[in-house]
C-alpha cells in the first residue's frame, strides 16, 4: 500500500513567479517525513505539488518530476484526479463538509466519486476509517449529526478518517495541528504514529518539537530573501537534523536564531 515518492528537479511556479526551485528528495514508505522551515519558504507549496493540488490555483504550474513507485505523476497522460485518490491530504484548518453528517463525511470520498457500495460495506468502511482515526468511540452514537458540531480536534480526526477512507497510498498533512489545542495535538500525533504503519506520511509543521517527536526524516526549506524562490536546504534523518545538521542554516533555524 504505502509507496515511495521520488522528486527530481522540481520547480514550482505561481504564474511567472518561481516559488520553489530545484527540489530533489526521496520520501520513504511507511515513515513520517516532516518538512520544516520559516513562513513563506514553500513547504506547503511543495506539499501541494505532490498530489497535484497546486495546479488548482489559477496560473499555478510545476516543472520537473514526481514519481511514485515508478509512476510519473506529472506525465501528460496522468489524470490529476487519479493522483489525488492515491495521495490523500489533510489541511491546516479542519474542513468537514457542512452539509453532511459525520457518517456521510467519512463516506464522502466514495459517495462523491459515485462508487456503488452496499449499505453494509459502507457501514464497515465508515467504522474502519473512524477507528483508524481514533474517533469511533467518541462519535459512534451520533453518526447522523453534522460533522461541524464536533470540537476542532475531533473535526481534524474526522478529516483524517475521511482521507484514509479512500485508502490512499500516501497521506499529506499541511500543518494539521496548528489550529488545535495541545491535547488535540497530542491525539493527532499519536494517530500519525499509528498510521505510518500503513501509509507514507508527509507533514508540514511549524512546530519543531512536533517534527522531532513524530518524524523519521526531516527536510528543511529556506529562502535567501524576499522574492527569491524557496529551496530544500537539507534533507536528513530527523535525529541528525536536530543533533548535527550538515548545514549552518539548518542549525541556526533549529536553535531559534532566526525564522
Partner 1 sequence: MSTSTAQGPATDVAPAPEQRPGGRLPRWAPWAAFVAALAVAYLVGLATSTNVVLLVIYTVVIGTAGLYVASRIVEGPRRAVDRLVTCLVSSAFGIAMVPLVSLAYEVIRRGVLRFDGEFFGASLVGVIGEGGGAYHAIMGTLIITLLTTLISVPIGLLTAIYLVEYGSGRLKRAITFFVDVMTGIPSIVAGLFAYALFVIFFGAGIRLGIMGAVALSVLMIPVVVRSAEEVLKLVPNELREAAYALGVPKWRTIVKVVLPTAIAGLGTGVTLAIARVIGETAPLLVTVGITNGTNLNPFEGRMATLPVYAFYQLTQPGVPPENAIDRAWTAALILIMLVMGLNVVARLISRFFAPKTSR
Partner 2 sequence: MTVTSPPQEPTAPPPVRRPGDRIFSLSAKGAGILILVILAGVTLFLLAESFPALTAPAEEIPGEGGLASYVWPLIFGTLLSAAIALLVATPLAVGIALFITHYAPRRLAQVLGYVVDLLAAIPSIVYGFWGIAWLAPRLVPFYRWLEENLGFIPLFAGPVSPTGRTMLTIGLVLAVMILPIVSAISREVFSQVPTLHTEAALALGATRWEMIKMAVIPYGKSGIIGGAMLGLGRALGETMAVAIILSGSAAGITFALISSANPQTIAANIALQFPESTGIDVNTLIASGLVLFVITLLVNMLARWIVNRRADFSGAN
- Output DSSP code: residue 224: S
User: How many chain residues interact with partner 1 (CB under 8 A)?
Assistant: 32
Q: Which residue has the cell 496548528?
A: 178
Binding of partner 1 at residue 82 (CB under 8 A)?
Answer: yes
- Residue 163 CA to its chain's centroid (Å): 10
Task: Measure the CA–CA gap between 190 and 14, rounded to whole angstroms.
Answer: 35
Name the nearest CA neighbour of 5 among 165, 168, 211, 160. 168
Positions of E strands within 37-95: 60-68, 71-72, 87-90
Question: Contact region for partner 1 (CB under 8 A) — 18-26, 87-95, 189-197, 228-236?
Answer: 87-95
Site residues for partner 2, 32-61, by CB under 8 A, read: 55, 61
Task: Measure the CA–CA gap between 44 and 25, rounded to whole angstroms.
Answer: 15
- Residues 175-204: x where in contact with partner 1 by CB under 8 A, - otherwise, as a string: ------------------------------
Residues 6+ apart with CB under 8 A from 256: none
CB of 52 to partner 2, least distance (A): 9
**Nearest residue (CB) to partner 1, 56 versus 121:** 56
- Output DSSP code: residue 150: S
Binding of partner 1 at residue 99 (CB under 8 A)?
Answer: yes
Task: Measure the CA–CA gap between 112 and 123, rounded to whole angstroms.
Answer: 16
User: How many chain residues interact with partner 2 (CB under 8 A)?
Assistant: 20
Which of partner 2, partner 1, none interacts with 8 (beta carbon under 5 to 8 A by kind)?
partner 2
Q: Residue 126, by phi and psi: left (phi above 0), alpha (psi -120 to 50) or beta?
A: alpha
Q: What separation in angstroms does the CA of 208 have from each of 3, 44, 107, 175, 228?
A: 25, 16, 34, 12, 24
CB of 202 to partner 2, least distance (A): 17
CB of 79 to partner 2, least distance (A): 4
Binding of partner 1 at residue 78 (CB under 8 A)?
Answer: no
Determine contact, residues 220/9, Cβ cutoff 8 Å: no
CB of 102 to partner 1, least distance (A): 13
Site residues for partner 1, 111-140, by CB under 8 A, read: 111-114
Site residues for partner 2, 70-99, by CB under 8 A, read: 74-81
Binding of partner 2 at residue 11 (CB under 8 A)?
Answer: yes
Binding of partner 2 at residue 16 (CB under 8 A)?
Answer: no
Cell digits for 83? 493522483
Task: Measure the CA–CA gap between 176 and 39, rounded to whole angstroms.
Answer: 15
Q: Which residue has the cell 504505502?
A: 2
Which of partner 2, partner 1, none interacts with 26 (beta carbon under 5 to 8 A by kind)?
partner 2
Which residues are at the interface with partner 2 (CB under 8 A)?
A: 6, 8-9, 11, 22, 24, 26, 55, 61-64, 74-81
Binding site for partner 1 (CB under 8 A): 51, 53, 56, 58, 81-86, 88-89, 91, 93, 95-99, 108-109, 111-114, 146, 148-149, 159, 162-163, 166
Amino acid at each position: 500500500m504505502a509507496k515511495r515518492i521520488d522528486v527530481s528537479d522540481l520547480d514550482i511556479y505561481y504564474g511567472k513567479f518561481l516559488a520553489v526551485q530545484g527540489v530533489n528528495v526521496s520520501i520513504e514508505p511507511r515513515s513520517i517525513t516532516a518538512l520544516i522551515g520559516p513562513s513563506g519558504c514553500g513547504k506547503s507549496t511543495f506539499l501541494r505539488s505532490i498530489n497535484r493540488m497546486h495546479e488548482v490555483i489559477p496560473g499555478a504550474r510545476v516543472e520537473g518530476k514526481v514519481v511514485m513507485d515508478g509512476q510519473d505523476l506529472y506525465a501528460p497522460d496522468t489524470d490529476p484526479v487519479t493522483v489525488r485518490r492515491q495521495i490523500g491530504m489533510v489541511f491546516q484548518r479542519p474542513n468537514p463538509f457542512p452539509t453532511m453528517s459525520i457518517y456521510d463525511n467519512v463516506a464522502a470520498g466514495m459517495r462523491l466519486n459515485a462508487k456503488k457500495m452496499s449499505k453494509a460495506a459502507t457501514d464497515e468502511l465508515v467504522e474502519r476509517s473512524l477507528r483508524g482515526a481514533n474517533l469511533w468511540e467518541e462519535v459512534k452514537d451520533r453518526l447522523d449529526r453534522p460533522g461541524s458540531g464536533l470540537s476542532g480536534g475531533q473535526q481534524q480526526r474526522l478529516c483524517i478518517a475521511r482521507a484514509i477512507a479512500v485508502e490512499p497510498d500516501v497521506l499529506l498533512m499541511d500543518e494539521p495541528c496548528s489550529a488545535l489545542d495541545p491535547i488535540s495535538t497530542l491525539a493527532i500525533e499519536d494517530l500519525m504514529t499509528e498510521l505510518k504503519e500503513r501509509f507514507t506520511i508527509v507533514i508540514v509543521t511549524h512546530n519543531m518539537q512536533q517534527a522531532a517527536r513524530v518524524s523519521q526524516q526531516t527536510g528543511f526549506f529556506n529562502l535567501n530573501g524576499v522574492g527569491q524562490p524557496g529551496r530544500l536546504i537539507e534533507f536528513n534523518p530527523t535525529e541528525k537534523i536536530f543533533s548535527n545538521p550538515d548545514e549552518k542554516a539548518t542549525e541556526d533555524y533549529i536553535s531559534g536564531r532566526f525564522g
